[in-house]
Structure 1
């Protein structure tokens, strides 16, 4: 009986100590809802739609606030001004990359997305140089993308205009494993069966496939003439210094007209055509804004004690390694930028015109960050924009996209699953254009 009493006493003492420590640390952090011991704000947030919950909290505590997912402190940034101020004006300080527990199990803080410190700087520098040398943004890369678009067009032609079902059900099944419940007890969750462990196994299989490819190329490649990214990486390792737009028929018709005027039907679209196709580019931008694929962004942390809007966000005070559940993470909500009513009139509506000036020319919209911004912006942005433009224009050059559902029943609202937003299952007909 005495042993049980002592155990309970110790547990209560630990909980009170952690609660006191959390409250003490929040004196330098932005205000937010009061966390519970151990659980933090977990019970106050909707785990099925965390983004919606955080936006709701921002209406009470303002554009910068703190929430706790278990013991994990998270500073949330809402709205264009707050996100830009952090990621652009304080770019160096906010350049740390936080970890996502379910991914950390097999990525182990390696790779250009989740690494930090000198390792990240060297990887980024190497990757940018290598991609540029292999033609990112140049003709060679464009030709490879065009080959892929033709393969896709060939597959669409096989449907003969019949409705086909498009789905990302595998993402629906795996996305819940990235739920922030993993932040509560990451070490324990790694030992409990579930989809999160299955996803980790898939990740490990992908790593094994990459390892096999590396071993194959290691046995035969010519170090004086590397042919791809892997071979360039192998050479570098030897160096001592290396540490939806279907519901908008009027927009589709305008895109068709612009494609016919600039490209015609006698050749494939090229990246050079983009400068003469402002409306098509505006449509692509608006699709990305509405789709808002990574609405919460990936987690950041500050690399130094940072004064921000009257608060002090503490740097991580232990080694370069930043395991989940430690330190203070920052989530700059890209969704709050793309749907910021101060910068986008009627943000829920599809309106490519917001990216065009009064003369129909493409204009820069500041509150548009589909690839994030600052030091941690996606370095593949140029390549991604090229791929989007070539696939999009080639498909609409050849097809008219129609739905068997009446327009009033079509919803373009993506299904939200915490870290990413994915489209619901839908049917689409790729009808060859008759010119």
Structure 2
């Protein structure tokens, strides 16, 4: 009897297990069918052998042509959903802004900020810091005449720097970085630095190097296998740069704190310190206004605001040297409409061709090809596919800016992309170099103003040509790959037009 009961119980257990197995297999199969497709991954390596880590965006763009606008790839053990094409990226970032709006904080991003600041944070802290930054930067003239005055003064300093070379070939990278950095410094710290200031030079150079190294293959590998960090020289160099710049920033903040007058706000740091002081006096607990958020917000904005603007302006000048007939048309329009006086922001509406050239430079340069990675904030079904909460998402901006269904000649420098038949400037929905949705670049208006004023001021005063012995056709546009895409390290001639 006992034996019979034992056998019956065992048989019943086996039946139950089989039913559960069949149910689970059926459920897993069904779930798998609804997940985005993608190439079959290898154990541990995932799809690493199927992509080029030096130009990951191009590899993913190629894969999208096979697997569609929403597909899955495994970078090692990390599952990533890639969004490709204008319509898909817009639908995700704008129409599903909440679900696709979190930041994927990779190991290196966490090393940078420990979850503080603006760029690499989530939740209530991110919301409050972004809201504060938007309001404060706007108060300090983003899109207003005070910013225009600061930028125009920096244009003068930059043109004087270029004049020193008397038309001889030189590398303009540093001077342009210093000019862009000074705009951010004026907003963050209420002052500008001389280009020859060694502390300023070191800060800018370390920021530039940090952004380059962040996109390097060793750091991509580190993000997949964080245990390798201390064994990688690139990681050690990167963290050394970050820590040194953090200390330099703390020193500047300390100096501003000593002379703080809550009744006379000079800059972003003053505004933050004043808000912090007011909250402390009100005895409000759990405030997001603490030193870690201040230091990391400042370093985030300073680095991002410098690199993107400087990078794009460098690309603009390389394109002008590469395509002299386009440069001719820009300078003809500037001479006809503005003459020799200083260009102002209000002139933009009367300079449609020049505006189109700047926009086309941004499009073709594609300096942030994969945006900054996003993360799914909650389970979502998108274009018929199930994407689980916490999944990393790459909005592939390369596929947006080079979308063949949106741009007539996506791989060619063509200002007509932004001009109608009458030569008037037209906006294009697929122009998305600043990303979109909740994580769109918060300095977008300031960046547009800087690019317009810097570019027009330089084109008014100089003609840009390749160095002696190099023809326009020989100018290679293959970018230098980092976290952003920089133009090749060419020396250009800035020949005075006056």
- Tell whether 2:271 aligns with 1:232: yes
- Tell whether 2:316 aligns with 1:263: no
For 2:418, the equivalent position in structure 1 comes to 355
SS at match of 1:224: coil
> Separation in 1 of the partners of 2:137 and 2:67?
43
Query: Quick check: 1:102–1:200 contact (8 Å CA) kept in 2?
Result: no
Query: Quick check: 2:219–2:234 contact (8 Å CA) kept in 1?
Result: no
> Separation in 1 of the partners of 2:384 and 2:111?
36
Q: Which runs of 5+ in 1 are unaligned?
A: 1-19, 317-327
SS at match of 2:231: coil
| Alpha carbons of structure 1 residues 313 and 389: separation in structure 2 relative to 1, 3 Å | same
| Alpha carbons of structure 1 residues 47 and 177: separation in structure 2 relative to 1, 3 Å | closer
SS at match of 1:66: strand
Q: CA deviation at 1:347?
A: 1.1
Most deviating of 128-137 and 30-39 = 30-39
- Tell whether 2:491 aligns with 1:427: yes
- Tell whether 2:77 aligns with 1:71: yes
Q: CA deviation at 1:28?
A: 4.8
Q: CA deviation at 1:218?
A: 1.9
For 1:180, the equivalent position in structure 2 comes to 220
For 2:371, the equivalent position in structure 1 comes to 297
- Tell whether 2:133 aligns with 1:94: no
> Separation in 2 of the partners of 1:366 and 1:248?
26
Q: CA deviation at 1:100?
A: 3.5
> Separation in 2 of the partners of 1:174 and 1:75?
21
Q: CA deviation at 1:311?
A: 1.1
Instruction: Give RMSD over aligned pairs.
Output: 2.0
Query: Quick check: 2:265–2:271 contact (8 Å CA) kept in 1?
Result: yes
| Alpha carbons of structure 1 residues 374 and 173: separation in structure 2 relative to 1, 3 Å | closer
For 1:123, the equivalent position in structure 2 comes to 129
For 1:308, the equivalent position in structure 2 comes to 382
Q: CA deviation at 1:178?
A: 6.2
Q: CA deviation at 1:429?
A: 0.5
1:373-431 Cα distance to aligned partner (Å, 9 max, x none): 111100100000000001000000100111131122122232334x3211111121000
SS at match of 2:216: helix
> Separation in 2 of the partners of 1:120 and 1:172?
25
> Separation in 1 of the partners of 2:418 and 2:401?
13
After superposition, residues 273-292 of structure 1 pair within 5 angstroms as 273-292=347-366
| Alpha carbons of structure 1 residues 379 and 172: separation in structure 2 relative to 1, 3 Å | closer
Q: CA deviation at 1:61?
A: 0.9
For 1:54, the equivalent position in structure 2 comes to 60
For 2:261, the equivalent position in structure 1 comes to 222
> Separation in 2 of the partners of 1:98 and 1:87?
14
Query: Quick check: 1:41–1:68 contact (8 Å CA) kept in 2?
Result: yes
- 209, 216, 240: which is aligned to 1:201? 240
User: Taking structure 2 as the reference length, what is the TM-score of the superposition?
Assistant: 0.76
Q: CA deviation at 1:140?
A: 0.8
Q: Which runs of 5+ in 2 are unaligned?
A: 1-24, 175-207, 289-314
- Tell whether 2:329 aligns with 1:254: yes
Query: Quick check: 2:212–2:481 contact (8 Å CA) kept in 1?
Result: no
Total equivalences in the alignment? 399
> Separation in 2 of the partners of 1:26 and 1:262?
60
Asked which structure has the greater RCO (Cα within 8 Å, sep 6+), the reply is 1
Q: CA deviation at 1:272?
A: 0.9
For 2:249, the equivalent position in structure 1 comes to 210
Query: Quick check: 2:215–2:481 contact (8 Å CA) kept in 1?
Result: no
- Tell whether 2:82 aligns with 1:43: no
Q: CA deviation at 1:58?
A: 1.2
User: Taking structure 1 as the reference length, what is the TM-score of the superposition?
Assistant: 0.87
For 1:10, the equivalent position in structure 2 comes to none
SS at match of 2:82: strand
Give the number of the structure whose residues are more often helix, by fraction. 2
Query: Quick check: 2:418–2:425 contact (8 Å CA) kept in 1?
Result: yes
For 1:9, the equivalent position in structure 2 comes to none
1:348-382 Cα distance to aligned partner (Å, 9 max, x none): 11110110111111111111101001111001000
Q: CA deviation at 1:37?
A: 2.3
For 1:323, the equivalent position in structure 2 comes to none
Most deviating of 75-84 and 170-179 = 170-179
> Separation in 1 of the partners of 2:232 and 2:491?
34
> Separation in 1 of the partners of 2:163 and 2:232?
43
Q: CA deviation at 1:72?
A: 1.5
Most deviating of 152-161 and 223-232 = 223-232
> Separation in 2 of the partners of 1:130 and 1:242?
18
Query: Quick check: 1:47–1:179 contact (8 Å CA) kept in 2?
Result: no
- Which of the two has higher C-alpha Rg? 2
Q: CA deviation at 1:181?
A: 1.2
> Separation in 2 of the partners of 1:263 and 1:301?
46
| Alpha carbons of structure 1 residues 151 and 224: separation in structure 2 relative to 1, 3 Å | same
| Alpha carbons of structure 1 residues 369 and 247: separation in structure 2 relative to 1, 3 Å | same
For 2:450, the equivalent position in structure 1 comes to 387
